[in-house]
Chains A and B, each alone.
Chain A
């Protein structure tokens, strides 16, 4: 079946602009995660959603970052007033209920802030 999809695959934006990154998880997966992958920093957890529970936002680096998940499916990660240090690959993953370690990752969105 279809895997996790993300859009856009690449995004170039000017410093100070807002961006929205989209994630479509695997159908039926209850948990959805966002990570950031950058050179020298490895993989960094940002946020996750599980069903109707309050999201775990503990990894969001600043209040410029926010995410929502509508209808328990699609998620959008929004970065306001982008900075050059936000440049990275943003990965989305989803997992089935009770197997949160088995995360299925999307291809990522490469964000470049100029």
Chain B
């Protein structure tokens, strides 16, 4: 069965420190990988898409096929990064005529301490 695991429900780091939010998946094949974020009192929104290989708000996500991981990283955390982060690896089989069933991890609540 497809499974995505975010092992840390809560993560707390100090401002300016590096942050890494872990995500592991157990799919065969080559999933496409996404991170979604939900800031306090805001809507869930797409943060970044692995295939675009871009850095969003200083965050990057590295795909490690050998470890089947897709960890989200930022070298210097900022207070505004405090939010709930969800990893969502997807297989092409979940894409039907453009619609895409996202399978989310359980989420990690990141708190940046001043």
A72 at the interface (CB under 8 A from B): no
Q: In the complex, A53 Cα to B98 Cα: how many Å? A: 11
> What residue of chain B has the Cβ atom nearest to residue A105's Cβ?
B44
- Of the stretches B22-30, B63-71, B102-110, the one at the interface is B102-110
A43 at the interface (CB under 8 A from B): yes
Chain B contact-residue range equals 20 to 34
B53 at the interface (CB under 8 A from A): no
From B43, B101, B106, give the contact of A105 (CB < 8 A): B43
B17 at the interface (CB under 8 A from A): no
- Contact A53–B102 (Cβ < 8 Å): no
- Contact B107–A50 (Cβ < 8 Å): no
Q: Which residues of A contact B102 (CB under 8 A)?
A: 33, 35, 43, 45, 101, 103
- Contact B101–A48 (Cβ < 8 Å): yes
Q: In the complex, A4 Cα to B45 Cα: how many Å? A: 12
From A3, A35, A99, A106, give the contact of B98 (CB < 8 A): A99
Q: Which residues of B contact A77 (CB under 8 A)?
A: none
- Contact B98–A107 (Cβ < 8 Å): no
B82 at the interface (CB under 8 A from A): no
Q: Which residues of A contact B98 (CB under 8 A)?
A: 30-31, 50, 95-100
> What residue of chain A has the Cβ atom nearest to residue B106's Cβ?
A42
Q: Which residues of A contact B106 (CB under 8 A)?
A: 40-43
A51 at the interface (CB under 8 A from B): yes
A43-B86, A105-B45, A107-B43 given; A100·B103 CB < 8 A? no
A56 at the interface (CB under 8 A from B): yes
**A1 smallest CB distance to B (angstroms):** 15
B96 at the interface (CB under 8 A from A): yes
B100 at the interface (CB under 8 A from A): yes
A102 at the interface (CB under 8 A from B): yes
- Between A and B, 8 residue pairs with Cβ closer than 8 Å are A3-B43, A42-B86, A45-B101, A45-B104, A48-B99, A100-B98, A100-B99, A103-B102
Name B's A-contacting residues (CB within 8 A).
32, 34, 43-46, 49, 86, 90, 95-107
